[in-house]
Each structure stands twice: as C-alpha cells, then as structure tokens.
Chain A
Amino acid sequence: MNSRVVSAFAQKDIVDAIRNRYLLGALLTPVFVAVLLRILLPGISNLNFTVVVHDPGGSRLASELRAMPQMKVITAASAEGVANELEKSKAVGGLAIPANFDADIAAGKQPELVVYVNNKQNDIEQAMFRQLVERQFLTSVKERLPAHLTWVDVNKEVSGEAPALNVNQMLLPMLLLLTFAMAGALVVPLLLVEEKEKRTLDFLLTSPASLSEIIAGKALTGIAYSVLFAGILLAVNYKLVGNWPLTLLTILFGIVFVVAVGLFMGALFENTMQVNTWAGLVLFVLLAPSFPSLRLPAMLERALHFVPTYYFVEALRLALAGTASPRFWGHLVVVLASTVVAFAAATWALRRQQN
C-alpha cells in the first residue's frame, strides 16, 4: 500500500468534507448536542428520590435528607430491613446509619455507613443517587471522607463487575459514540457514495490507486475527524476519566469499528439518498447500547448484545471507572473482530461492484 496515495485521499477528503455544508453539519452536530446536554441536563435538585433510611440515632444526615424537597424518606425498622423496604417501596437507595453516627464523626472517627442502591431502578437515578451521597453530604470535608462508605447493590442482575459511575460518566460513552458514529457512519459513506455519484470513482480506478488504498484513504478521513471531535469531548470531560490509557485505547477501537461500518455502507449504497435513508437506522442501532438503560423488555436487552457497540460501551464504562479486567479485554476483542468483519465486507462489496 502506497502511503503517498492514502495520504492524498485523506488530505483531499478532510478538506472536501469541510467545504460540504451538509457533512460539516453532520460533524459538528454531536459536539453541539454534547454541549447542550451539559447545559440542559437536569441537576440533582430537579429529580425526586425515594430513599429508605434506618436511623436509630436520629442523625443529622437523616434530618437533612428529610428536609430536601425532592427527597421522600421511608424509615426502615432495622439495618437488615433496608434492602427489603427498598424493593417494596421501589426506592432508588437506602442508608443504614449507625446509632452513634454524629458522635463518631465529631470524635474524628470513621463510622461505617452502608449505602444500598436498587439496581432495578433507572440507571440515571442510581448514578445521581450515588453522586448525591458522595458529593453533597460526604465530600464537604476536603481532606477525607467523614464516614466510611460501604456500597451494596440490591437486585443486581449482572454477573461480574458493574462499574459504579456517576451521571456524567454514564452519558459520556453515548456522547462519544454519537460523535464518531456521525463521522464514521454518516460522513464516511457519504464521501464514498459521492465518488460513485459524481463518477470520480471511475477516475480513481483508472489511476494507480488500488481499491485498498481508496478504502484506507476514506477510513483515515473518518478516523481523523472522529479523533478530533472525541478529543474535544474528552478534553472537556477529563475529570471523568478513570484510566486514561484504557479509555483512549477503547475509544480508538470504537472509532475504527464505526468507520469500518461506514465504509461498508458506502460500498453498499449507490447514492446519497440511500445513505441518508438508512444512516438514521444504522446510527440508532449503533447508539442503542449506550443509552442509559430504561429497562427495556428482556428480549430487546438481549438483542443489544448482538450489536458490537454494546461491547465498546461496556469496555468504555470499565475504562472510565478505572477497571482493567479480563472482561474489559474480552469486550475489546469482540470490537476488534467486528471491525475486521466490517472492513472485509466493505472490500468485498466494492470489488463486487467493480466486477
């Protein structure tokens, strides 16, 4: 493969995409969406929570919870009863506050506070509850947490680790995927399809450029734009990243996969109308695994496991939480294998058209 030829393609397409207002809009839209979500996303104060509390000592913590207008507090008779009450009342979380909680904190001790999280509730509510517990009530002391937190997941259905993420960490995979899905699964196929529509592909095929070099050039363009805009998102949200090398590696794998899907679409479709017709559906399917779970029917939940971006999102969540485990690497292998298949399919589709 001639790097001069590949870079010639990439340079031409990178500049040409900017001059195409439609493509420019497609590239910038996810960035605007990300900014808009940051502005419009309802703060913790706008959500209503039901929380179960066992508080034999009448702590200040429980009083402050009851005083919050969006908080409905249900009292549990015992620490053990908090989990049962969670399920019965469909509360998002619960606290088992020790009897001498206030006194121990005042004495400079670290009492154990057991925090229950109901995994059957909406993921965003769970994440916001965690954030609320950590940020508003226990991080006021800057040097150390005044109490020792023990997190207990109730109704946990997922085996293995499920990273504990805050709201923004829950949304970041969706925003990142949206960013490079637009570049990879919309811009890249449009670049390829336009070559067919304008018959410039005929010129390319009579030039010394091989089909592989044409594909590589288009892929490089999609990767370049995806890296640029993903980089912007990461820079804005740098505090959310737990493990940088794993996060960057995962994002790179995700970008290459989505670009490969875009190449396949570009090889398959003949004109921009076909791309525009199908791109929305493809984007939705790719993005679906990244939506914070709204508790879909079991069949749909299982169907998501067949979408390669499901594994990308799972890997990214683990990376954001700072977790490197066999499960993480397993997810990346699935994404890599899917990428190889998508590239092979794109090459096959283009060669078939040529013949």
Chain B
Amino acid sequence: MSFRLQQNLGGCVPTIVNAIEVEGLSRTFNSRRAVDDISFTVEAGEIFGFLGHNGAGKTTSIRMLTGQLRPTSGHARVAGCDVIADQQRLKPLIGVVSEHQNLYERMSARENLIFAARLYGADTRRIDEALDQVGLLDRANDKIQQYSNGMKQRLLIARSLLHRPQIIFLDEPTRGLDPIVGRDIRRLVQNLSREGITIFLTTHYMEEADQLCNRVAFISAGKIVALDTPDNLKLAHGQKSLQVRLNDGERLTISLDDQDSGEKIKQLVTSGQIRTLHSAEATLEEVFIQMTGRKLSE
C-alpha cells in the first residue's frame, strides 16, 4: 500500500507529495564514511523505517535530516525545505525524539514542556493536550528524576508534538524499554500516523519495523541495501517453505522453491501421515541477515 496524500505540509514548497527527499547523502568522519551515498523518498503520512545494526548510520542519517549535522555531500529536503539552506524554516515543521532521553531532570514534566513551547512559540494550552495524548497528565508536576524510562520516552514524544509538526523523527524510540512499554510506544506511534503525521523512525528491532512501518530501508555500513514494504521484502528475499508435522511426531520442512516440492506434498497428503501443516515465511531479520551478512543485534 502506498500513501499518496497530497497535503499542504506548510513547508518551504506550497504543495508537496514527498515529505522527505534524499539524494546521494553522505557523511564522513575523519575519513570514515558513516553514511554513504543514500537516496530515498518518504511519502507524506507514511511511517518509514530505517532498520540496521548498531553503527549502521541510522542516527547519523537522522541528524543530517533534522539539521543537527551538515552532510559531507548530497542533498536532502524535508517538508520541502533544504536541510542546510532552509534550516530555520525547517525546524518548526519537524519534531525530533532523540535516542537519548534529553530532558531537564531537575524540572517537572510541565516545566520541560513550557520551556519547549516557548522555544517553538507554541500555545502553552497545548501542553495539557500533549500530556494527555501520551498518558502523563496526572504526573505533569513530577520532576523528571522521578520518571521511569517509559514515562520519559512518552514525555519526549509529547514534547515533539507541542508545535504540531508535520513530520516526526524517532530515533530508536523503544530502545531499552520493557516489552509492555515498547508496545505502548508503538501504539502511540500508530495513533500519530492516523492523525496524518509522517513518521521517520530508526530501529534495530525487527518486530517493530515489521509491525509499524509502511516501508522499510535496510541500512548497513552506511549504505541502503534494500527498500520496500516489509511484506515485499519477505516475499522477494525470504525462502518460502511449509512446516509439516507427521503423525509419528517427525517434523519436516519442505522448501517450495524445490522442483519436487509439489510431488512431496502430494505424497504426504495422500498417505494420510500429516498431523499439521503450516506455511513458514521468512522474517525480516532473516532477510536482513541474508542481504547484509550481519545480525541486527550486532
């Protein structure tokens, strides 16, 4: 499914289809290429994921797209704004949730959001609305020192929503969180997407990318090695097979790519030996390992 929302994103160009356009973007640190000539587009309203192992270039890519880091070469436009030339016009249009929980610990949640609202010129009446959206309204006056990791992550998302951005960048939003809290964050992200916000997220959790993203780009050693919907990636690169359990308990795996697979299945069916029969698709992680030679957790 592709999203073709013709939205007026209120950016530097009056009407745009692509929320993000990247062409030949690279970043070098002391002769090491952290991001190497990447090109892609993200459609307005889409949830787009960057999936890669640690050190693959995900965070560097986000930092370039959000104006924190100057690219060594290439171009990028976010909400129609050039990430270098139009930085000051770009910033009010985007929200950024960093991989670090960069909140002011000695201040309360409400004070953190008041400060952010003043920076963005946002209406401070939005603060309660944003806190309620992430389920933190009743803890608004607690100091951040008293917050759990999950609460801090939710507050970061609330802070990124204050000024009603068109695009939100989430860098490893569920990293280090327990599964239940991670699930809550993912639900939050899906709700934001339903409101029409374009989401660009990076993750090294395969299930997260599979569950959330409309399209995923695999990034490894600074390069994009694949880009498509999760289903297409699994279908195109995974091995199709059937998992068969026989009446005597024996388990068989029949690859549908084998020429004689049809004959084998017919034999098993007619023999009445089959207890259970399941299709087994490749997982995104298996596809990633196949394409990059590395595990996501490396």
Contacts and interface: CB of A to CB of B under 8 A. Distances in A.
B102 A198 contact: yes
B214 interface: no
Contacts of B102: 198-200, 202-203
A166 B102 CA distance: 52
A226 B96 CA distance: 35
B11 to A, nearest CB: 14
A198 B118 contact: no
B135 interface: no
Contacts of B146: none
A205 B70 contact: no
A159 interface: no
Interface string B61-75: 000001111100000
Contacts, number: 60
Interface in A215-235: none
Contacts of B120: 207-208
Contact of B104 (A5, A12, A206, A355): A12
A353 to B, nearest CB: 11
A112 B115 CA distance: 68
B242 interface: no
A133 B69 CA distance: 67
A8 B91 contact: no
B67 A205 contact: yes
Interface string B196-212: 00000000000000000
B66 A16 contact: no
A44 B67 CA distance: 64
A302 interface: no
A144 interface: no
Interface in A152-210: 198-200, 202-210
Given A8-B115, A205-B68, A208-B119, A200 B103 contact: yes
A20 B145 CA distance: 13
A4 B114 CA distance: 12
Interface residues of A, number: 22
A206 B156 CA distance: 13
Given A8-B118, A19-B106, A20-B106, A206 B88 contact: no
Given A208-B88, A208-B92, A202 B98 contact: yes
Contacts of A204: 119
**Among A202, A209, A354, A355: residue with most chain B CB under 10 A:** A202
Contacts of B68: 202, 205-206, 354
Most chain B Cβ neighbours within 10 Å, of A4, A208, A355:
A208
B105 interface: yes
A239 to B, nearest CB: 40
A interface secondary structure, majority: helix
A222 to B, nearest CB: 18
A317 B254 CA distance: 94
Contact of B106 (A16, A199, A210): A16
A354 B69 CA distance: 7
Contacts of A15: 107
Contacts of A8: 115, 118-119
Interface string B238-272: 00000000000000000000000000000000000
A355 B70 contact: yes
Contacts of B105: 198
Most chain B CB within a 10 A radius of its CB, from A198, A203, A355: A203
A198 B111 CA distance: 17
A5 B96 contact: no
B80 to A, nearest CB: 17
Nearest to A194: B104
B104 A16 contact: yes
A209 B119 contact: yes
Given A198-B102, A198-B105, A210 B67 contact: no
A207 B116 contact: yes
Contacts of A4: 118, 121
A20 B88 CA distance: 32
Interface in B94-126: 94, 96, 98, 100, 102-107, 111, 115-116, 118-121
Given A198-B105, A202-B68, A207 B119 contact: yes
B175 to A, nearest CB: 14
Given A203-B96, A203-B98, A205-B68, A16 B119 contact: no
Contacts of A200: 102-104
Interface in B37-80: 66-70
Contacts of B98: 199, 202-203
A208 B121 CA distance: 9
Nearest to A200: B102
Contacts of A203: 96, 98, 102, 116, 159
A210 B121 contact: no
Q: Which of A4, A207, A355 has the most CB of B within 10 A?
A: A207
Nearest to A355: B70
A16 B107 contact: yes
A206 B91 contact: yes
A205 B119 CA distance: 11
B66 A206 contact: yes
A205 B94 CA distance: 12
A20 B66 CA distance: 31
A200 B96 CA distance: 12
Given A4-B118, A4-B121, A208 B106 contact: no
A355 to B, nearest CB: 5
Contacts of A16: 104, 106-107
10 contacts: A12-B107, A12-B111, A15-B107, A19-B107, A199-B100, A202-B98, A203-B116, A206-B67, A206-B91, A209-B119
Given A12-B107, A205-B67, 13 more contacts: A15-B107, A19-B107, A198-B105, A200-B104, A203-B116, A206-B68, A206-B91, A208-B88, A208-B92, A208-B119, A208-B120, A354-B68, A355-B69
Kindly list the 6 A-B residue pairs having the minimum CB-CB distance in the complex, ordered from nearest. Answer: A8-B118, A199-B100, A199-B102, A206-B96, A19-B106, A207-B119
